């Protein structure tokens, strides 16, 4: 257990340095700029080497392509210009302490034409003028993409390759036609499969790069390759050597560039900084890191290389406070580095980590609006032996986060009650109060329990880090693609209510499986059985499609860079896409749990138990969106008259738990294309708003088009008491939530130290397993902001450019969210911690001009 | 039909009340612009692709065949195509292709348009159609 040597764990005497204030100001001034460099270089290599004609692409060919990109990419040491909101260029003096960048731009949008970048094609000439989250692009860059990049990929994107591969899933009479699963995907209301966009969601293993350097890994790969008999293994090791040499080359190029800049630099302070950057990038990541700064540089250079290969969505950095602690401690103890310098270095790195945003086409903003790259960092918790892992660096990283208040990195903190200190928990709550939205808190007891239930070794479960939004995965050894399937739970309910039909796709078309007319059901169990069949039908379809796209990744997009920096592939001699990792699960996340659970409860009570309404009446009301059925709607929405999940109502909570068990069982029965099993999570990003827009009225009283509840959170406004809400969620079986949950709570800011006390006490209470009587809550995240502030920010975004909020998993700047998503956050249940009661307010109405 | 008339039709269809002539105006506008502008024609110099457009009620049928710098427009469907778009009505198609705040995905979400085949061809078509409107100053 590391000794905490800090006199004040809040480190409140340390503020933003002048350098960081300067860089942060530029950071918020700059809008994202599309960068064509990666896309252009990858395309050129594919053209020059005939890869567009290949019927598969070997890992060695892929490795050569990435080495080519690493060699030819611009080694950016300092940026000189950005673009502001008026799309005008501005110049600035860059005083960053880390060389290298994800793109050539100060804040760039990297493009991956292999994946979904072609969706931006229609927008290239107008993307700088779009209302939501515009990207700058020059006419020449648009021309490069239009003529030299995108045309070559029209037959080679994952989506298209998957479509063609799906022809074989049809009977021979229907050749050259997409499989029905693809048509379901295109309908949008059933599930989304994210492999055409990326796999990414995972945590690399940086420890080897830190300890033995990339040169050490190359030597290991050479040794293993020399002793491998299997040609595919030999090829794998050669690919590893190829990409690692490319990364070393890139770092050397950075070093050379830093030297050149230093020679010309008139400012002596900056000159010395550049000389130091040159020296560091000449050493690492090729050789072991010897100082804290070298350790951070190793992480950063490896991170940029990983992003060359893997789209910038959900790649996460893991437990950096554990990885870097020894280097930090040595430097501080030897006097080589002060705490102030450590905080400044971390702030510089945090800004670097946020130097890119994903390329999101305009309408996708409605499903994923305002998202950053969701690069999670995990702090605290326990070590492999179950001891307290919180160290001085944990607090230094918390302070850097508190000062910066950035969207990326997405900070997550682990807490093990009884092992980690109460002071640590209070500090986590305090940072939440001061940032309004971060870090998310994870309960080690429950998370380790759920990972163990899926077969993870105890030391691996204890070493979990958070991936993307909230998903737990063993640090550097779990290649889990936690967001492989986004499963809209409202659709199987819809298919049950309408006997295999869906209002969105038309009630004359049986698109699901027929499970009987619900008007003929005489018991609630009959209804549940039909619902379970529809759930399983959709699970089958979504898994089938995910596995199909997974095979495309294996055949065309192996990942030599990520495989080099991971536990498992080197030992097995196998790429990650082919099961090289130690843990090979896939993840599905469920959207709509609370609304569907409440719908089941409403049906159980009013149709079957009380017989207050018939199924025919309910269906009629749903079809008419409750118009003419206002009293019924009021009855269904009233938590005093209709059981609601989140109120410690036994029947309602039982229905929610039953759904999680059915989904866990249905998914866990399935094998993925890497031989692993599917795990289930409940975090929704902004999809509860996106899917909500598409879905009709529900038996819980929700009207058509209204937002669904987020993550695992009860329906907004249905749970007046905070403690009851927390107890209901904490009573769910965590073994069924193994791909993570997001419980989104909103607290009113209150004056006085009592708020912090109450805050910490509620977290403790929620995490508690009550002596084994329940599992305890897994995760909780907060927005600490008033309803009025959010309404004001929605109406006047220019006054709140840095307002940070938790969506359902990731953090976002409120101004970047689409109107539907803003409404969802504004209308979320808000509690006063001092009373534990819900604050009442009228639902927010989106102004007419802002609707989309 | 002269270019001026086609462009006037297109402008009317895009800015005013839409009619079932919208698709015809767009496709013939593209064709004439490809014929007359070398810069615009660069978009299809090395491109081959077949597009079929049809309304759900079968009232509107059209096709465009691009073949290495040449574009042919048909008022009937083609048997072989790279992408086939079935739209609810002309308004849905216009929204699908041009609306500033919506795009391909949004129309799919609204169930206004069904697309079969390779979506990447549609993205390219979307670029060319928007470029045409920008060149004509109607966007």
Nearest CA in chain A to B139: A126
- B49, closest residue in chain A (CA to CA): A154
Number of Cβ within 10 Å of residue B17's Cβ equals: 7
What is the tens place of the pLDDT at every residue in A561-578?
999 999 999 999 999 999
Helical (H) or strand (E) element with B24? helix B22-36
pLDDT band at B102 (very low <50, low <70, confident <90, very high): very low
pLDDT for position A849: 53
| A417 has pLDDT over 60 | yes
The confidence score (pLDDT) of residue B11 equals 74
Angle at A306 between CA A300 and CA A311, to 5 degrees: 120
Q: Which of B47, B106, B130 sits opposite A125 (nearest CB)?
A: B130
What pLDDT, on the 0 to 100 scale, is given for residue A851? 46
- Distance between A171 CA and the closest CA of chain B, angstroms: 18
- pLDDT at residue B139 greater than cutoff 80: no
Closest approach of B70 to chain A, Cα-based (Å): 17
Of residues A121, A154, A505, nearest to B126 (C-beta): A121
Query: Above 90 in pLDDT, residue A108?
Result: yes
> Does any CB of chain B come closer than 8 Å to the CB of residue A122?
yes
Q: Which of A4-13, A363-372, A488-497, A808-817 has the lowest mean pLDDT?
A: A363-372
Structure tokens of A684? 């929704």
Categorize the per-residue pLDDT at A173 as very low, low, confident or very high, splitting at 50, 70 and 90.
low
Inter-chain touch B124–A150, beta carbons under 8 Å: yes
Query: Which residues of B sit within 8 Å Cβ distance of A?
Result: 42-43, 46-47, 97, 100-106, 108-109, 111, 114-116, 118-121, 123-124, 126-127, 129-131, 134, 139
Mean pLDDT of chain A: 95
pLDDT band at A95 (very low <50, low <70, confident <90, very high): very high
Closest residue in A to B42 (Cα–Cα): A147
Residue A724 has pLDDT above 90, yes or no: yes
Distance from CA of B5 to the nearest CA of A (A): 26
Tell me the per-residue pLDDT of A513-524, one tens digit each, with 9 for 90 and over.
999 999 999 999
Measure B81 CA to nearest chain A CA, in Å. Answer: 11
Percent of chain A residues topping a pLDDT of 70: 98
Asked if pLDDT for residue A171 goes beyond 70, the answer is: no
Answer yes or no: do B127 and A125 touch at CB < 8 A: yes
Q: How confident is the model at residue A528 (pLDDT cuts 50, 70, 90)?
A: very high
Residue A155: list chain B partners with CB under 8 A: 118, 120
Taking only the tens place, the pLDDT of each residue in A268-284 is 999 999 999 999 999 99
- Residue A123 touches partner B, C-beta closer than 8 Å: yes
Closest CA to A337 of A348, A350, A323, A327: A327
Is the separation of the CB atoms in A415 and A443 below 8 Å? Answer: yes
What CA–CA distance (Å, rounded) separates A76 from A53? 33
pLDDT exceeds cutoff 80 at B66: yes
Which burial class, exposed, middle or buried, applies to A648 when counting CB atoms under 10 A from its CB (0-12, 13-18, 19+)? middle
Report the sign of the C-alpha dihedral through residues A136, A141, A145, A149, in that order: negative
Range 354-373 of A in CB contact (< 8 A) with B: 361-364, 366
- In angstroms, the first-to-last Cα distance of chain A is 53
Q: State the nearest Cα–Cα gap between A587 and chain B, in angstroms.
A: 24
Chain A CB contacts of B100 below 8 Å: 126, 129-131
Q: Alpha-carbon distance A411 to A401, whole Å?
A: 8
Mean pLDDT, range B102-121, rounded to an integer: 74
Highest-confidence segment of A116-130, A409-423, B56-70, B86-100: A409-423
A31 to chain B, closest Cα gap in Å: 19
The residue with tokens 């080519």 is A68
Pairing, β B113-117 against β B83-87: antiparallel
Has residue A368 got a pLDDT over 80?
no
Q: Which of A130, A144, A154 to mutate to test the interface with B (most CBs of B within 10 A)?
A: A154
Q: What is the pLDDT of residues A3-46, one digit of tens each?
A: 899 999 999 999 999 999 999 999 999 999 999 999 999 999 99
SS3 state at A179? coil
A202-233 pLDDT, tens per residue? 999 999 999 999 999 999 999 999 999 999 99
Q: Indicate the residue of B108, B123, B139 with minimum beta-carbon distance to A121.
A: B123
Of the residues A363, A369, A704, A851, the best mutation for testing chain B's interface (the one with the most B CB atoms within 10 Å of its CB) is: A363
- Please state, in angstroms and rounded to a whole number, the distance separating the CA atoms of residues A380 and A450: 18
> Chain B: residue nearest A116 by CA?
B120
- Mean of pLDDT over chain B: 83
Q: How far apart are the first and last CA of chain B?
A: 22
User: Does residue B99 have a pLDDT over 70?
Assistant: no
Nearest to A20 by CA among A301, A345, A409: A345
Is the pLDDT confidence value at A808 over 90? no
Lowest mean pLDDT among A396-400, A411-415, A819-823: A819-823
In degrees rounded to 5, what are phi and psi of residue B51? -120, 140
CA B88 to chain A, closest CA, distance in angstroms equals 13
| Cβ neighbours of residue A505 closer than 8 Å, sequence gap 6 or more | A187, A189, A511, B111
The pLDDT tens digits of the residues spanning A324-363 come to 999 999 999 999 999 999 999 999 999 999 999 999 887 7
Mean pLDDT over A455-465 rounds to 98
- Lowest pLDDT segment from A238-242, A436-440, B2-6: B2-6
The reported pLDDT for the residue numbered B100 is: 55
The 10s digit of each residue's pLDDT in A54-94 is: 999 999 999 999 999 999 999 999 999 999 999 999 999 99
pLDDT tens by residue, A684-707: 988 898 899 889 999 999 999 999
Q: pLDDT tens-digit profile of B16-40?
A: 666 667 788 889 989 999 999 999 9
For A584, the token pair is 């090979």
- Which chain A residues contact residue B79 at CB under 8 A? none
What dihedral do alpha carbons A518, A520, A523, A525 form, nearest 10°?
-50
How many alpha carbons fall within 13 Å on the CB side of residue A193? Answer: 27
């Amino acid at each position: 257990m590391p000794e905490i040597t800090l006199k004040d764990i809040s480190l409140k005497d340390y503020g933003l340095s002048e350098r960081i204030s300067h860089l942060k100001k530029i950071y918020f001034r700059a809008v994202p700029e599309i960068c064509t460099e990666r896309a252009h270089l990858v395309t050129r290599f594919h053209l020059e080497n005939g890869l567009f004609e290949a019927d598969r692409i070997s890992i060695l060919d892929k490795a050569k392509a990435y080495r080519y990109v690493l060699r030819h990419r611009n080694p950016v040491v300092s940026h000189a210009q950005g673009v502001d909101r008026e799309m005008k260029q501005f110049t600035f003096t860059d005083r960053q302490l880390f060389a290298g960048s994800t793109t050539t731009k100060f804040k760039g949008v990297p493009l991956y034409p292999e994946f979904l970048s072609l969706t931006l094609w229609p927008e290239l000439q107008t993307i700088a003028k779009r209302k939501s989250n515009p990207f700058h692009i020059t006419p020449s860059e648009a021309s490069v993409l239009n003529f030299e990049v995108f045309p070559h990929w029209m037959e080679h994107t994952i989506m298209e390759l998957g479509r063609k591969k799906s022809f074989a899933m049809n009977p021979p009479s229907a050749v050259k036609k997409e499989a029905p699963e693809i048509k379901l995907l295109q309908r949008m209301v059933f599930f989304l499969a994210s492999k055409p966009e990326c796999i990414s969601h995972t945590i690399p293993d940086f420890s080897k790069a830190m300890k033995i350097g990339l040169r050490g890994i190359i030597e290991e790969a050479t040794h293993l390759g020399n002793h491998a008999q299997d040609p595919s293994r030999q090829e794998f090791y050669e690919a590893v050597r190829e990409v690692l040499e490319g990364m070393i080359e890139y770092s050397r190029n950075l070093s050379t560039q830093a030297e050149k800049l230093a020679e010309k630099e008139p400012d002596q302070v900056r000159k010395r900084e550049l000389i130091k950057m040159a020296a560091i990038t000449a050493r690492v990541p090729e050789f072991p890191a010897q100082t804290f700064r070298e350790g951070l540089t190793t992480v950063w250079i490896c991170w940029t290389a990983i992003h060359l290969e893997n789209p910038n969505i959900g790649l996460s950095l893991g437990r950096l406070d554990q990885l870097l602690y020894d280097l930090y401690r040595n430097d501080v103890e030897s006097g080589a580095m002060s705490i102030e310098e450590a905080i400044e270095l971390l702030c510089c790195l945090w800004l670097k980590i946020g130097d890119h945003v994903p390329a999101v086409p305009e309408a996708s903003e409605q499903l994923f609006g305002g998202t950053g790259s969701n690069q999670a960092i995990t702090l605290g918790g326990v070590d492999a032996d179950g001891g307290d892992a919180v160290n001085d660096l944990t607090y230094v990283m918390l302070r850097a986060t508190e000062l910066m208040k950035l969207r990326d990195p997405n900070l997550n903190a682990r807490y093990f009650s009884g092992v980690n200190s109460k002071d640590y928990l209070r500090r986590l709550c305090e940072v939440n109060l001061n940032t309004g939205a971060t870090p998310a808190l994870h309960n080690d007891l429950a998370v380790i329990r759920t990972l163990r239930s899926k077969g993870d070794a105890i030391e691996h479960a204890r070493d979990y880090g958070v991936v993307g939004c909230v998903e737990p995965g063993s640090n550097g050894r779990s290649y889990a693609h936690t967001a492989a399937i986004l499963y809209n739970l409202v659709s199987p309910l819809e298919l049950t209510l309408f006997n295999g039909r869906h209002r969105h796709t038309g009630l004359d078309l049986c698109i699901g499986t027929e499970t009987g007319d619900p008007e003929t059901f005489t018991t609630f169990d009959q209804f549940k059985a039909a619902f379970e069949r529809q759930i399983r039908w959709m699970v089958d379809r979504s898994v089938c499609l995910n596995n199909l796209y997974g095979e495309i990744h294996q055949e065309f997009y192996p990942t030599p860079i990520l495989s080099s920096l991971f536990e498992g592939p080197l030992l097995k001699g196998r790429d990650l896409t082919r099961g090289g990792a130690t843990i090979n699960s896939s993840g599905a996340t469920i959207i709509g749990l609370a609304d569907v659970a409440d719908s089941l409860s409403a049906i159980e009570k009013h149709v079957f138990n009380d017989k207050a309404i018939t199924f025919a009446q309910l269906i009629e009301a749903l079809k008419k969106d409750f118009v003419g059925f206002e009293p019924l709607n009021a009855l269904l929405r009233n938590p005093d008259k209709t059981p609601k999940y989140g109120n410690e109502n036994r029947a309602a909570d039982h229905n929610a738990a039953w759904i999680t068990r059915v989904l866990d069982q249905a998914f866990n029965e399935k094998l993925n294309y890497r031989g692993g099993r599917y795990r289930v999570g409940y975090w929704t990003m902004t999809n509860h708003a996106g899917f909500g827009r598409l879905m009709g009225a529900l038996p819980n009283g929700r009207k058509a088009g209204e937002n669904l509840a987020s993550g695992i959170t009860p329906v907004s406004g249905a749970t007046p008491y905070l403690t009851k809400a927390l107890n209901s969620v904490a009573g769910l079986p965590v073994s069924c939530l193994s791909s993570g949950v997001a419980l989104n709570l909103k607290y009113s800011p209150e004056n006085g130290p009592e708020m912090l006390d109450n805050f910490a006490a509620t977290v403790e209470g929620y995490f508690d397993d009550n002596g084994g009587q329940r599992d305890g809550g897994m995760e909780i995240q907060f927005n600490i902001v008033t309803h009025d502030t959010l309404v004001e920010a929605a109406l006047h975004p220019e006054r709140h450019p840095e307002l940070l909020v938790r969506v359902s998993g990731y953090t976002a700047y409120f101004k970047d969210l689409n109107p539907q998503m803003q409404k969802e956050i504004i209308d979320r249940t808000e509690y006063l911690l001092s009373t534990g009661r819900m604050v009442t307010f009228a639902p927010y109405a989106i102004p007419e001009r802002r609707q989309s | 039909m002269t270019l001026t008339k086609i462009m006037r039709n297109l402008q009317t269809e895009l800015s005013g009340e839409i009619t079932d002539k919208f698709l015809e105006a767009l496709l013939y506008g593209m064709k004439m612009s490809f014929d007359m502008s070398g810069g615009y024609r660069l978009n299809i110099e090395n491109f081959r692709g077949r597009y079929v457009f049809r309304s759900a009620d079968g009232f509107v049928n059209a096709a465009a065949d691009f073949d290495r710098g040449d574009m042919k427009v048909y008022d009937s469907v083609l048997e072989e195509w790279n992408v086939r778009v079935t739209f609810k009505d002309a308004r849905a198609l216009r929204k699908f292709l041009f609306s500033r705040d919506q795009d391909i995905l949004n129309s799919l979400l609204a169930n206004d348009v069904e697309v079969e085949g390779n979506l990447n061809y549609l993205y390219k078509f979307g670029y060319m159609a928007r470029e045409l409107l920008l060149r004509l100053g109607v966007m």
